[in-house]
A = this chain, B = another copy of it.
Amino acid sequence: PDDPTTAWVFRGIVALIVVNVVAAILLTDDRFRHAFPYDFRMIEVISLVVFGGEYLLRLWSCVESPRLRGRNPLQARLSWAMSPAAIVDLAALLPFAIMHLYPTDIRALALVRLLRFFKLARYSPGLASLLEAVRAERHALLACFVVMCGGIVIFATAMYELEGPAQPDKFGSIPLAMWWAVVTITTVGYGDVVPLSGAGRIVAGLTMIAGIFLLALPVGIVASSFIEVIRRRHFMVTWG
């Protein structure tokens, strides 16, 4: 990444991925698809050439990488092709094949095209840092998740008992009440399911205040962990 040419090639690939993701998003909207059918095909052809070329170059040059040096070339290339990064790169070539096999299935095509988003993680040290931060505190985050699930189950059960008889379509079973509980504990609060009785509102108020305390846990843990990781790495660009 010291070489300015390499940096420009990187930026070009990142830009092409972003263009692809934006195109895949707009593709699902009928007005955009009918307005620019030709351009979407052009992007697909350019992507096939660039991502295909990148894949072949990486497959050819992977024998030079320090991790694989010393093995025989075929074995090294097979070992690289099985790595998660190489599979993400290969998946980025899928949409072209799909487009020719099922040319009209827009829904499947959108999904496959968005797989290219994960390709961005290879060029984005921020995403890699996030994964590292999450990995470092995975036990604490799992405990948070258990505590949050516990809170959701307990408050959902309380509301099922209190509001269930009065609003059977909204609190008539614990799974239904859990929808209300997760919307409330995360402070999203759509307002599609709301308690009406006095007792239900008191329990809902406690749920909201508990939500604040339950939110504090992952916020504190992720934030402190991520800050530490970004301080340590200084966002160096990682080599694939």
Contact = CB atoms under 8 A, between A and B. Distances in A.
Nearest to A31: B173
A188 to B, nearest CB: 4
Nearest to A128: B143
Interface stretch (A57-65, A85-93, A205-213): A205-213
Given A29-B175, A216-B219, A209 B124 contact: no
A220 B217 contact: no
Interface string A133-147: 010000111111111
A125 B207 CA distance: 23
A21 B110 CA distance: 37
B190 A190 contact: yes
A157 B111 contact: yes
Nearest to A185: B208
A154 B115 CA distance: 9
Q: What's the dominant secondary structure at chain A's contact region?
A: helix
Interface in A145-190: 145-148, 150, 153-154, 157, 160-161, 164, 173-176, 178-179, 182-184, 186-190
A155 to B, nearest CB: 11
A126 B153 contact: no
Given A187-B187, A192-B194, A219-B219, A29 B146 contact: no
A35 to B, nearest CB: 13
A174 B235 contact: no
Given A28-B174, A212-B215, A144 B126 contact: yes
24 contacts: A25-B178, A111-B157, A114-B153, A114-B154, A117-B153, A120-B150, A125-B143, A130-B147, A139-B235, A140-B235, A175-B198, A178-B205, A182-B205, A183-B189, A186-B209, A212-B218, A216-B221, A216-B226, A217-B223, A219-B223, A220-B222, A220-B224, A223-B223, A224-B227
Given A187-B187, A187-B189, A189-B190, 11 more contacts: A25-B178, A111-B161, A114-B154, A124-B146, A126-B143, A127-B146, A143-B235, A186-B212, A188-B208, A219-B220, A221-B226
